[in-house]
Chains A and B, each alone.
Chain A
Amino acid sequence: MNKINEHIIIIGNGISGITAAREVRKQGGQAITVISAETDYFFSRTALMYVYMGHMKFEHTQPYENFFWQKNNIQLIKALVQKVDTASKKIQLDRGDWLAYDKLVIATGSRPNKFGWPGQDLKGVMGMYSKQDLEYLEQSTKNCKRAVIVGGGLIGIEMAEMLHSRKIAVTLLVREAGFWGNILPPSESAMIGRHIKEHHIDLRLSTGLIEILSDRDGSARAVVTDKGETIDCQVVGLAAGVTPNIDFLKGSGIELGKGVKVNRYLETNIENVYAIGDCAEQQEAIDLRKPVEAVWYTGRIMGETLARTLCGKRTAYDPGPWFNSAKFFDIEYQTYGWVWAKPREYENQFYWEHPKGKKAIRISYHKETKAFLGINCLGIRMRHEFFDTVLNNQLSVDNVISNLKKANFDPELFTTYEKEIKTAFEKDHSNLIPTNNG
C-alpha cells in the first residue's frame, strides 16, 4: 500500500507535523520533507518557558538528537512557505524555489491574538508562542523593571511565571472575574488566583487592556486599563489566546474558516492536502470539543491519525475522551472528561478542597444517570488510563469515588485524601448514592 515514490511535504515542525512525519516513517518508505521557518529541529513548544527560567537550555527542549532526522530519512528544510499551488501540486519557499508534492500536510500551528489594541506593535510588546518570541522576550527584558501581561489563560500565567523567575515585577490583567474563568469553575479559579498572589504577582481581575503607551523611541512605556489606570512597564505580554497561522494559504483554493477546514479524516477540500494541529478547523465539532483545538495532545493525536491515512489506511480523527493538563506556578492541573465552569443543566458537580487550599478535585456527573462525566484535579495527580476506561465505558460516579485510590497517581508516600473525599461526597451527595456503594 505504501508508495515509495511518493513525496509528502509537511509544513510545520511542531508536535503535529513531526508526529505525522515520524509515524509515516515507521509505516512506510515515502519521501518526507518537513519545512519550518522557526527552527532547524523539532522542539517542545510547551518547554520554552523553562529555557527562559533557566531550568533547561534550548537544546534540552529538543526530544530527538540532531542525527535522528537524517538517520530516519526525514528531510528538514528551514524556510518559510510563501504560496501553495494546489493545481500544480507545488509550494513556493521564501528563498524562491518551488517544491513539488504528492501529498501536502499543513501543520503551521497558531500565532498570538492581537485584537487591534492601540500600541500593540510597539517595541517590547509580544506574544509568547515561538522560539523567536522567546528570543525577543530575552532581549526585551534586559532592563525591564515591570511587565504587564494581558490575558488570564495558560500562556498568561506562564509568562507571569517566566518574568517573575527573573525578578521582574508582573501585573497580570485578566478580563474575566476569575483566572481562566471560562474554563475553571469559580473555586478552582479562586485557588489559582490566591496562588498567583502568593508568588507576588499583581493580579487584576475583571480588568481589560485599552491601549499601550509609547515612549519617544517607539517602545512600550505603560498600559492603560479599562479601569482608567495607567501602569508603567517596559514589556507587555499579549496572551489573549491564539489563532490559526494560515494567512499564507489565502487564495490557494484551500477552504479556510478560522483555521483550515477539514473533515473527520483531516482532509481539506482539495485532494491530497491535509491539515492537522492548531491550524485545523473541524467542519463539525467533535462531541463537546471546539472546532479548533490548540492543544499539544490533540495535535499529537491528529499527527498519528493522519499518518495512517497517508500510508493508505484512511483513518478518522477520533481523539477519545478529552484530557488536558497545565501547571500554574506550583499547582499542577489535570482534567479528564468535561467539567464545565458553569455547570450545564444535566450536570451535578462535587467539589472537595484541602484545608490548606492547594489541592482540590471537582467531579462532574450526570444528574439522572449518575454517569461520571469528568474531573478537575488541582495538586493531585490522577491516572489517565483509569479515567479513560471510566469515560469510555460510561461508568458511574460511585465507581470513581470508590476507586479513587486506584486512580491516584501521586508519588509514593504522599498523603492521600481518598477517605476525606469519599466522606465529603457521601455527605453532600448522599441522597444520590445507593447505600450499598462500597
Chain B
Amino acid sequence: MDKKIISLSLANPEPVNMNGVQKLSVGIGFAGLFIFVLALLNINFPYKAGWLYGSIVFILAGIIIYSISTYKKLPEGIQNNGVYFKSISSKGLWGWVTGIVLTALYIFLYWYPEYLGMGKDGTANKGLVGFFDPLSYFLNGHAATQWFVYGTLYTMAIVGFGYKFILKYRHNKYQLVRTISVMFFQLGFAFLIPEILAKLNPTLPYFSKDIKNMWPLNYYFFEDWHLKGMLGGGNLGMFMLLFGLAMIFIISPILTYFYGKRWYCSWVCGCGGLAETAGDPFRHLSTKKLGAWKFERWCIHFVLVFIVLTTIAVLYTFLGDPANKVLITRNQFTLGVIIFLSVVIAAIFIFRRKQLDTDSKFTLASLGIIVVGVILINFLSGQNNILFIDSYQFRSWYGFAIGSAFSGVIGVGFYPLMGSRVWCRFGCPMAAILGLQQKLFSRFRITTNGGQCISCGNCSTYCEMGIDVRAYAQKGENIVRSSCVGCGICAAVCPRGVLKLENGDEKSRFDYSPILIEKDNIKVSG
C-alpha cells in the first residue's frame, strides 16, 4: 500500500530507458519505501525517529535525483516523448498495478486503518501509523493517526513531484510559479500550520485548521461536530469559522471573477495540487469523448445537490437542538437559504441569460432543485428527521459514497487509469460552483490566437479535465468552459503558440477570431 510513492516516482519504469543515475535514484527511493514496508510489518526499529526521518529523506532524495537526471540534461522544452509507450502512463501493466495499489491504500485508509497499525480505542499505534508517531508528536503533540500518515505522504508527493514538475516545465514561468504555489499551500497551509496550531492549542476540541480548505469541497465544515469544535475553539475557532464563511461568500467570488477558478483549482487546492504534481504523468488519460462530457454534467451536479442538501439538513438539525446556543432559528435559516439562492438564480437569468450553455443550465437547475429541497425539508421534517430520514444518515452516506469512495478511492486511486482529475471533473461540488461563476461572471478565458491552430490535438490530449480544447481552437474560438481549471498545460504543449490563458474584458471573452473565417464572419457551430 505504501507503493503509492514507489509507483509514482517511476515516471518511466522501463529499465531499458533508465540511465545509471536514474536507476540509483529509484533505488534510493525504494530503500526509503522499503523501510515503510518493514514498519508496516511491525518490525521494531531502535531509534525509530531516525529511521522515520531517514526514510522520508531517502524518498524525497530519490525523487529529486531522478528528476534532475531525467530533465536537467535535456534542453528546455516539452518533455512528452514516449508518454504513450511507457507502461505506467499508457494504462499498461505498471499503470494497472499502480492503480490497484493506490486504490488498496485508500480502502485501508478509510475503512481498515487498523491494518496500517492505527491503535483502536486508545491502544498504542503499531505498524506504519506507529512508525510516524515521532513526527506526529513533534508537530502536533499527539500520537499519529492514519490521517497524519496520509497527510505526510500526500505532502511529500506534492513537494517531491512538484520539484519534478518544475524541472520538467522549467522553461515555462507560469507553470513554475503555479507549482511553487501549490507546494507552498500544501506544505504550509494544509500540513505544517494546522499541525503546529494543534500543538499550540492542545486543549481545544478538534476542527480543521486549514484555512484554504473550503466548503463544499471540505464537506464537513458545517457539520455539527465541526461547528461545535469551532464555536468552542476560542479565538482560533471563531477565526476559522469566520474565515471559512468569508472564503465561500466573499474571497472566492472576488478571486474567481478576476482570475477564474484556477486561483483555487490549480494554484491552491490540495486535490488539484496532487493532480498537478504526482498526477502529471497521467493527465492525458482523461477521456475527451462527448459522452464523457454529458456524464460529467449529471455526475458533478448530482454530487453538488447531494452535498448542499446534506449540509442544509445537518445544519437544520443542528439549529433545532436547543442545546446549541445559536443566533438564528431554523425558519430564519431556511428562509435565508431560499432567498439567497433565489437571488442568485434570478440574477443569472436577468444578467446572463444569453451566455447560458448546457453546463451552466445544469448548475442552475441544481440550484433550483436545492431550493425545492430546502422547502421540502422545512415543511416535511420533524425534530430529528429530514424528509423522514435521520439527517445524520444523509451525512454518513455522503461521507462514504462521495467523501471517501469517490474523492479518495476513485479520485486518486484511478489516476493511472482515468487521468489525474477524475474527482475534480466528475465530482467536486466546489468545481461546479466555481465553474458556474467562471462561465458567467469572470474575466478569465483561454484566448485562441487567430488562425494559427493546426488541429494537432496536443491541447486536447493533455487537458486533464477532458476538455476538447482543439474543438474551440481550430474554429478560432476562445475557450470559456466551466470545467477549465486553468492549469495552462494546453498553452504549454501547443506547438504553434495558439493558446493563452488570460484575464481581460468580460465583453471580449466570447469573440471569434476575425482572421480564421475571412471577411463576413460565419459563426461556426459544428
Question: Footprint of B on A, CB under 8 Å?
Answer: 15, 22-23, 25-27, 44, 46-47, 50, 53-57, 60-63, 65, 68, 72, 165, 195, 198-199, 296-297, 300-301, 304-305, 318-320, 323, 325-327, 329-330, 332, 334, 381-385, 388, 409-415
Contacts and interface: CB of A to CB of B under 8 A. Distances in A.
Nearest to A72: B526
B502 to A, nearest CB: 6
Given A195-B75, A323-B451, A411-B500, A332 B519 contact: no
Contacts of A56: 84, 284, 457-458, 461
Contacts of A329: 75, 77
Interface string B501-526: 11000000000011111110010111
Nearest to B172: A411
Interface in B467-485: 470-471, 474
Nearest to B171: A330
A320 B77 contact: no
A388 B78 CA distance: 29
Contact of B177 (A47, A68, A413): A413
Interface stretch (B22-30, B210-218, B273-281, B488-496): B488-496
Given A54-B82, A55-B458, A26 B449 contact: no
A55 B283 CA distance: 12
Given A54-B85, A330-B76, 18 more contacts: A44-B454, A47-B456, A53-B80, A54-B82, A55-B81, A55-B84, A56-B461, A57-B84, A60-B461, A62-B457, A63-B455, A296-B454, A297-B454, A318-B519, A325-B452, A334-B496, A383-B449, A385-B450
Contacts of A325: 452, 454, 496-497
A296 B333 CA distance: 60
Contact of A414 (B174, B460, B515, B526): B174
Contacts of B497: 325, 332, 334, 381-382, 409
Given A47-B458, A334-B497, A413-B174, A388 B514 contact: yes
14 contacts: A23-B522, A44-B454, A47-B455, A55-B84, A60-B460, A60-B461, A318-B518, A325-B497, A327-B496, A330-B78, A332-B496, A383-B450, A385-B449, A412-B502
A65 B524 contact: no
A316 B501 CA distance: 35
Interface in B129-177: 171-174, 176-177
B517 A304 contact: yes
B236 interface: no
Contacts of A382: 497
B105 to A, nearest CB: 29
Contacts of A300: 451, 516
A382 B76 CA distance: 20
B25 to A, nearest CB: 20
Contacts of B255: none
B173 A384 contact: no
Contact of A384 (B77, B80, B513): B513
B401 interface: no
Contacts of A15: 455
Interface of B: 75-78, 80-86, 171-174, 176-177, 284, 289-290, 447, 449-452, 454-458, 460-461, 470-471, 474, 488, 491-493, 495-497, 500-502, 513-519, 522, 524-526
A19 to B, nearest CB: 10
A63 B449 contact: no
* Residue from B492, B495, B501, B502 having most chain A Cβ neighbours under 10 A: B495
Nearest to A332: B497
A304 B454 contact: no
Given A304-B518, A411-B492, A384 B451 contact: yes
A357 to B, nearest CB: 12
B173 A411 contact: yes
Contact of B514 (A57, A334, A385): A385
Contact of A411 (B82, B174, B460, B524): B174
Contacts of A195: 75
A141 B451 CA distance: 35
A44 B470 CA distance: 11
